[in-house]
């Protein structure tokens, strides 16, 4: 996924980028960046000559995005299924409402577990700068 943003800060190879530039995101339906000017970090892996205020193109690997999505979604879904089945084994005479309620509790615990896991082990896959973009080029992409 290619995005475009302006460099706000440079700290070594880590750049703070502000999204929302004209012609900003290619194929992205998220308008939050454009309206709120969302900031995020990106890495300068290619050691490009960049300075604060430059407009740059940022890439996010599809594989990294897919693996992060799987890590966020799979544990809660598995916890829902386990809690639902466990509720039906432990309380066989109870109705589906109790099983579903305990399943939702398992779902919430799964999301909470993912939250704490990412709090202590942040994702290592970060967006990276692919190239600087000229002002004229950014206007023509609109």
pTM score: 0.59
Identify the pLDDT of residue 24: 45
Identify the pLDDT of residue 99: 94
| Rounded mean pLDDT, 113-134 | 84
CA distances from 41 to 13, 63, 82 (A): 10, 18, 37
CA pair distance 130, 111, nearest whole angstrom: 33
Identify the pLDDT of residue 141: 53
SS3 48: coil
Q: Output DSSP code: residue 52.
A: T
CA pair distance 30, 80, nearest whole angstrom: 29
Domains in the chain with CATH codes: 2-60+127-140 (2.30.30.140), 63-120 (no CATH)
Q: Tell me: the pLDDT tens digits for 42-91? A: 888 888 888 888 888 888 888 877 888 888 999 999 999 999 999 999 99
Identify the pLDDT of residue 2: 78
Q: Tell me: the pLDDT tens digits for 6-53? A: 889 888 888 888 886 555 445 555 555 555 568 888 888 888 888 888
Identify the pLDDT of residue 139: 59
Q: Tell me: the pLDDT tens digits for 85-116? A: 999 999 989 889 999 999 999 999 999 999 99
Identify the pLDDT of residue 82: 97
Identify the pLDDT of residue 60: 80
- Other CB atoms closer than 10 Å to residue 15's CB: what's the count? 25
Per the structure block, which two tokens stand in for 65?
A: 């995005």
């Amino acid at each position: 996924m290619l995005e475009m943003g302006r460099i706000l800060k440079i700290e070594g190879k880590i750049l703070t980028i502000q999204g929302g530039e004209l012609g900003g995101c290619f194929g992205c339906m998220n308008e939050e960046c454009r309206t709120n000017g969302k900031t995020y970090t990106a890495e300068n892996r290619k050691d490009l000559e960049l300075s604060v205020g430059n407009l740059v193109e940022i890439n996010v690997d599809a594989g990294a995005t897919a693996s992060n999505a799987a890590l966020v979604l799979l544990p809660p879904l598995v916890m829902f299924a386990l809690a639902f089945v466990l509720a039906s084994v432990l309380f066989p005479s109870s109705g589906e409402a109790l099983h579903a309620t305990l399943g939702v509790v398992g779902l919430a615990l799964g999301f909470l577990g993912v939250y704490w896991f990412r709090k202590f082990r942040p994702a290592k896959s970060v967006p990276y700068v692919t190239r600087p973009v000229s002002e004229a080029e950014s206007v023509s992409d609109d």
